[in-house]
Each structure stands twice: as structure tokens, then as C-alpha cells.
Homo-oligomer: A and B are copies of this chain.
């Protein structure tokens, strides 16, 4: 098992030379000079202790042992190439997107069909993660995340500012005679009162001491679920208006106040490891996401390189 192979570069040179029966042509194939191939073959012969080529005057021939070697070596390299080809084909045809549930449900799900129509050769696999999980940066080709900064070295494109403001079903607002001041909100059930967004928003609204403890803790963890509860009239939720556009347009939810807050460093962003910089499928996906956002009037900055890991 643990036979020490000669230097692999020498084996590779031999493989090519044995197919071409020419150092010059082998060099061409490998992108090397003839001298480099000659050097590697000599190296191989010294390691092996016998000649693999017979040097005729203007050509070379495999020696008996060289021919024996060539057979197996060519096969082995063929297997290698096939293996890498196969796995790269497999890779090119499957795009793994990791996204948090909110974005997956509110944004990706309804649009993915359009991407698949545009790129029928790419199978998309969506790996969503809940709000208490970390994004699976290393298991996905591309990740859409909020709150969690991608690993150092990743490429990063901010997509959507993570703005938030209370949203509520119109019937519910009417039920308490309309919502006119931020304090009115406290008359209603607060959906997910532990969400730090509430604290931030109430502070910005001039009520830093609003008592949010009287409602049961029930982190849904996903804006999709919270939005559904709000639409159902179960209370007031603090949500990102962009993700509720449809409900807002259709009057299922209303935004009582213009005050929209944003947490520093919390915004949805697309990111991917640097190795995917030239990946076709990632490029296509990124372009598609950006263009979809553009259709909603949102414009994304250029990709930037994440430099720090904090």
C-alpha cells in the first residue's frame, strides 16, 4: 500500500510522453518546454533505476519496462481525469443555496421558478436555516444571510436593508379605535415581544421603557410566521416592510407609523466563498437575484471582499 511513488510531476510527464512518444509534444500538451519534460523523464529514470525510453536519433521509444509502466500510468491518469470531470460536471449542474427561512419563504420561494426557467441546466437545492442556526456558509455554493457576517475572505453583496417597523392587521387596529401613537401598540398583543427589534423601535419612537414583558415569549423565528399571525389579527408584529409588500398592498396589513428602524450590520446579504468567484452557476444566481431586486426598485452595491472575521 505504502509504496513510495516517484515524483508525481515526473509521472505526469511520462504519461504524456508515453502517449506522444515525443518530449516536445508532451511538453506542448502539458504547457511545458521540451527541456522540462526531458528533465522529468530523466528524474523518473533515476528514481526507478532503469530507462523508460530508448533514445533513438530523432525519436524515442518506450523500453520494455517503460511500456509496462505506460500502460498502467495512462490508465490511472485517465481514471483521474474522468473522476474530476464527473465531479465537476455534477458540481456545475447543482447550485446549493443556503438561506435563512425568512428570505427563503418571503422572497426566494416565489421567484425561484423564474431562475429555473432561465437556467434549466442548473438544479437548485435550497438549504434553509432557522433563526437560531448559523448560515451554512461552507456547505452551500452561495448563502443569503442576515446578522451573521460571512467568513473572512468571502465575497459579499448587501441586498436588502433589514428595516423594521410594526405592522398590524387593519381590523385589529380598528378594534382599538385606530393606532395613533406608539403607545397604542401596547394595547395589542405583541407578537414575539423578545425580538430585540421591538426595543430598538420603541426607543426610537420615544418609548424606551415600554413594558413588553406581559406577553408570552413565543419567538417564531421567522418573519413569515410572524407575518401570518399578524395578518390573522393575532397581534402586532415588527417586520420588514419589503417582505410584506404584498400584504401591505392588498390591505392585509397596515403600517401605522412611518418610523422605520434598522439595526447596524443587520441586512440581508448574498455571499459566497472566494473559490466561487468564477463559478458560472453562482454568477448566474447572483445576477438573477440582483436583477429581481432591481425590478422591485432596489439596487445593490458591488460585491466586496470581507476582510475581517469579527
**Contacts from A to B (Cβ < 8 Å):** 1-3, 5-6, 8-9, 11-12, 29, 45-51, 54-55, 63, 65, 68-69, 71-73, 75-77, 79-88, 90-91, 138-139, 141, 274-276, 278-279
Given the contacts A45-B275, A76-B79, A68 and B87 also touching, CB distance less than 8 Å:
yes
Which residues on the B side are within 8 Å of A1 (C-beta)? 81
A178 to B: closest C-beta gap in Å: 53
A130 to B: closest C-beta gap in Å: 19
Are B80 and A11 within 8 A (Cβ)?
yes
Are A76 and B73 within 8 A (Cβ)?
no
Q: Which residue from chain B places its CB closest to the CB of A69 in the assembled complex? A: B87
Q: Give the residue of B9, B73, B75, B86 whose beta carbon is less than 8 angstroms from that of A8.
A: B9
Q: List the 5 closest pairs (A to B, CB-CB), nearest first.
A: A72-B83, A8-B8, A76-B79, A46-B275, A76-B80
Number of copies: 2
A95 to B: closest C-beta gap in Å: 11
A47 to B87, CA, bound (A): 13
Given the contacts A49-B276, A72-B82, A275-B48, A87 and B63 also touching, CB distance less than 8 Å:
no
A53 to B: closest C-beta gap in Å: 9
Q: Give the residue of B5, B9, B83, B90 whose beta carbon is less than 8 angstroms from that of A81.
A: B5
Which residues on the B side are within 8 Å of A84 (C-beta)? 3, 5-6, 48, 69, 72
A6 to B55, CA, bound (A): 31
A209 to B: closest C-beta gap in Å: 42
Which residues on the B side are within 8 Å of A88 (C-beta)? 48
Q: Which residue from chain B places its CB closest to the CB of A141 in the assembled complex? A: B50
Q: Which residue from chain B places its CB closest to the CB of A12 in the assembled complex? A: B8
Q: Can you list 5 A-B contacts (CB < 8 A)?
A: A3-B81, A50-B91, A65-B91, A69-B87, A76-B79
Which residues on the B side are within 8 Å of A3 (C-beta)? 81, 84-85
Which residues on the B side are within 8 Å of A71 (C-beta)? 83
A62 to B: closest C-beta gap in Å: 12
Which residues on the B side are within 8 Å of A8 (C-beta)? 8-9, 11-12
Are A49 and B91 within 8 A (Cβ)?
yes
Q: Give the residue of B50, B69, B80 whose beta carbon is less than 8 angstroms from that of A5.
A: B80
A45 to B138, CA, bound (A): 11
